Amino acid sequence: MAFAIGADEYPGLDAGPYSHWFDQHGVELAGRIVGGDALARARQLCHYLKSEIGFRGSDDYDDPRGNFLNDVIDRRTGSPVAMAVVLMALGRRAGLEGSGVAFPGHFLVRIERRYADPFEGGAPLDRERLLSLARETLDDSSQATACFEPVGVRTVAVRLLLNLQRIHVQRADDARAFVVCDRLFELTRSPTHRVDRGVHALELGATRAAISDFEAYLVSHPEGERATRAREELRRVRATAPPLLH
């Protein structure tokens, strides 16, 4: 799914060479991870990612390339969630199953009950220290504990897309933001992403599509800030659009 997101930016992207890259490094890594306990294996995996093949967290959170897996592999740098994808893919091929963890701030990876932040070099992290940080951030013990639950591929993809949405909106790039919101709605069916898609459709001149998205959102969410904006946009469109679009 991560390569499908990249294909939106790079039409015709061939994921084959990148999958082969993962396979090659996975075989090499598997030959190095021999014996040891869970902590030792997690350390070996993270050491390989950082010191052997030179990956590091991106110092520019506003660079969209940090969320396209092909760019991340080519440049050896990426966002926290993209770095987690690389670590999990390498680990799986080396016989170490990793799961994504949607921790506040940085996306983490759980490897055999150990937690690692590949963005910061991957050194295994103490769960109790992480739990304390989560409680400080969320101010809710139950939510803090839930942060340690592994998430699926879809959640990982949504995190990548949300990063891209933020960047494209910041850059006023409605065309790319529209594509991202379309994917977000496709993955989540969330009305929030639908109304966001309508906003970008309107800016791109796709009036009929925008009206459809705004009306659908208001049916399910008639109240709130986004509903207010949707109504305002509908009034503006209907005041200027041809009668057939009303």
198-212 pLDDT tens trace? 999 999 999 999 999
Q: What phi and psi values does residue 26 have, to the nearest 5 degrees?
A: -65, -40
The predicted-structure confidence for 181-232, as pLDDT tens digits, reads as follows 999 999 999 999 999 999 999 999 999 999 999 999 999 999 998 899 899 9
Q: Which amino acid is it at 26? A: G
**pLDDT for residue 158:** 96
Max avg pLDDT among 2-6, 67-71, 113-117, 140-144 = 67-71
- Nearby residues of 43 by Cβ (< 8 Å), 6 or more positions away: 123, 124
Q: Would you say residue 245 has pLDDT above 80?
A: no
Q: Which of 64-73, 96-105, 124-133 has the lowest mean pLDDT?
A: 124-133
**pLDDT for residue 241:** 63
Q: Which two tokens stand for residue 72?
A: 């991340």
Please, what is the angle between helix 174-188 and helix 2-9, to 10°? 150
Q: How far is CA 143 from the centre of its chain?
A: 20
- Nearby residues of 21 by Cβ (< 8 Å), 6 or more positions away: 73
The predicted-structure confidence for 44-56, as pLDDT tens digits, reads as follows 888 999 999 999 9
Q: Which DSSP symbol is given to 15?
A: -
Confidence at 243, pLDDT banded by 50, 70, 90: low
Q: Compute the distance between CA of residue 124 and CA of residue 147 in angstroms, rounded to an integer.
A: 17
CATH classification for the domain delimited by 2-151, as one of 3.40.50, 3.10.620, 2.60.40, 3.40.720 = 3.10.620
Sheet bearing 114-116, strands edge to edge: 124-125, 114-116, 108-111, 98-101, 150-151
| 33-49 mean pLDDT | 82
**pLDDT for residue 85:** 95
Q: Find tokens 């306990």 and name the residue.
A: 37
Contact 87, 49 (CB under 8 A): yes
Average pLDDT, the chain: 90
More confident residue, 175 or 40: 175
More confident residue, 224 or 128: 224
| 64-85 mean pLDDT | 96
Q: Which two tokens stand for residue 85?
A: 């994808």
199-212 b/e (C-beta count within 10 Å ≥ 16 → b) = bbbbeeebbebbbe
> How many Å is the Cα radius of gyration of the chain?
21
**pLDDT for residue 219:** 93
Q: Which DSSP symbol is given to 6?
A: H
Q: Compute the distance between CA of residue 168 and CA of residue 111 in angstroms, rounded to an integer.
A: 33
Confidence at 237, pLDDT banded by 50, 70, 90: confident
Confidence at 144, pLDDT banded by 50, 70, 90: confident
Confidence at 246, pLDDT banded by 50, 70, 90: very low
Helix (H, G, I), strand (E, B) or coil at 151: strand
**pLDDT for residue 242:** 60
More confident residue, 136 or 151: 151
